[in-house]
Structure 1
Amino acid sequence: MSAAENDTNVPDTPTGPRPEPIRFFGTTWVDHSGGYAARRVGVAVGSLAAAAASCLVLRIAYQGLRIADIGSFVTVLTVVMFATCSALAFRHTWSAFTARPDPDRQASLRGLLTIGFVGSLLAYFFRSLTEAPGEKLHRAEYGKAREEYEKRVTRRSGNPSKKRRRS
């Protein structure tokens, strides 16, 4: 195979920043192609179904506590703990869709977010009703990166040795 034939088979790679993929959506959020609407519906239905199944599991666990007859204090404490952790997880997940969370804070909240998984699932459901979860944040970051790239490219365009000299 000659070098000329090899050059024709090389696909053109886009220059500049590339969009960051979003879970379940890839990069379809950029131009809403590739089944974007169907993916959003699927994510919404899936996260709501997972939240409902999780609530069923928590209900079975609650009934287990009632059957064990461990006392109303522990039962109430468990319910309050799950409700509080779910509310905090919802708030944290919702805010993570609009701003990048601090990695240290994220690591310290890992246990709380695990206990409050129902809140995270509900936040994912509600956000997927309007956009791909995190799309607004990714779109802003991608737009800023494209803008900065365009500024850099336009400043450096052309061959400086061919520039006409001022007299």
Structure 2
Amino acid sequence: MSTTSTTSATTTADGAPVPPPIRWFGTTWVQRGTGYWLRRAAVSTGALAATAAGALLLRLGVSGVRMSEAGPLTMLLSLAVGLCSALAGLRNWKILTEGKDALTGWMAEEKQLAGVWLVGCTGALAAYFARSLVEAPGEGLKRAAYDQETAVWHRRRASRAEREARRGGRRRS
């Protein structure tokens, strides 16, 4: 199981932390300029289009089973698709808001429940769309980590400057 770190591993020449990029947004999420808002609109539109395409594909699949006149199977398949979509959407929402490391229990199962996540792709895409209306998906986690790293860097820089000022004052005497 691969884990993704939300902290940045790189720093600038003076030791300041560099914000980690977010897919499709780069580091525009830090300043939230015009490019950020245009990308947010494009990502939301793309996620909505992908959700609609996934729903259409699932609808065509269920319609194919309905045409085969397998009555009870059609209802069972519709319920299974709905349940898988709900579970995948819930899981994706948790990943986007709390991070992949916060997944526990059945949500953390990647390989065993791969079929559920695949069938529930529409729910996962819908959760991505909904999250993209609030912020760049994953931005909250990255912003919290970046703000914490920046605060630590500022404290260290201030204490270093204070120590150097005290040493400079002693040397002048």
Q: TM-score, with normalisation over the residues of structure 1?
A: 0.79
Once the two structures are superposed, residues 42-61 of structure 1 have per-residue CA deviations (whole angstroms, 9 ceiling, x without a partner) of 11111111111111111111
Go from structure 1 to structure 2 and tell me whether the alpha carbon gap of 1:62 and 1:41 turns closer, same or farther (over 3 Å shift): same
1:33, CA displacement in angstroms?
A: 2.4
1:72, CA displacement in angstroms?
A: 2.4
Pair 1:164-2:167 in alignment: no
Decide which of 107, 112, 115 is 2:110's aligned counterpart: 107
1:101, CA displacement in angstroms?
A: 1.9
Pair 1:82-2:106 in alignment: no
1:115, CA displacement in angstroms?
A: 1.9
RMSD (Å) for aligned C-alpha atoms:
2.4
For residues 98 and 132 of structure 1, the distance between their equivalents in structure 2, rounded to whole angstroms, comes to 11
Specify the alignment match of 2:131 in structure 1: 127
Contact 2:15/2:153 (<8 A) preserved: no
Unaligned runs of 5+ in 2: 1-11
Specify the alignment match of 1:45 in structure 2: 45
For residues 61 and 85 of structure 1, the distance between their equivalents in structure 2, rounded to whole angstroms, comes to 15
Go from structure 1 to structure 2 and tell me whether the alpha carbon gap of 1:112 and 1:154 turns closer, same or farther (over 3 Å shift): farther
For residues 47 and 56 of structure 1, the distance between their equivalents in structure 2, rounded to whole angstroms, comes to 14
Larger Cα-atom Rg: 1
1:82, CA displacement in angstroms?
A: 1.2
For residues 53 and 16 of structure 1, the distance between their equivalents in structure 2, rounded to whole angstroms, comes to 43
For residues 168 and 54 of structure 2, the distance between their equivalents in structure 1, rounded to whole angstroms, comes to 68
Specify the alignment match of 1:5 in structure 2: none
Specify the alignment match of 1:6 in structure 2: none
Runs of 4+ with deviation above 6 angstroms: none
1:154, CA displacement in angstroms?
A: 2.6
Pair 1:54-2:60 in alignment: no
- Length, aligned pairs only: 153
Specify the alignment match of 1:63 in structure 2: 63
Q: TM-score, with normalisation over the residues of structure 2?
A: 0.77
Once the two structures are superposed, residues 15-70 of structure 1 have per-residue CA deviations (whole angstroms, 9 ceiling, x without a partner) of 3211111111011000012611111111111111111111111111111101223x
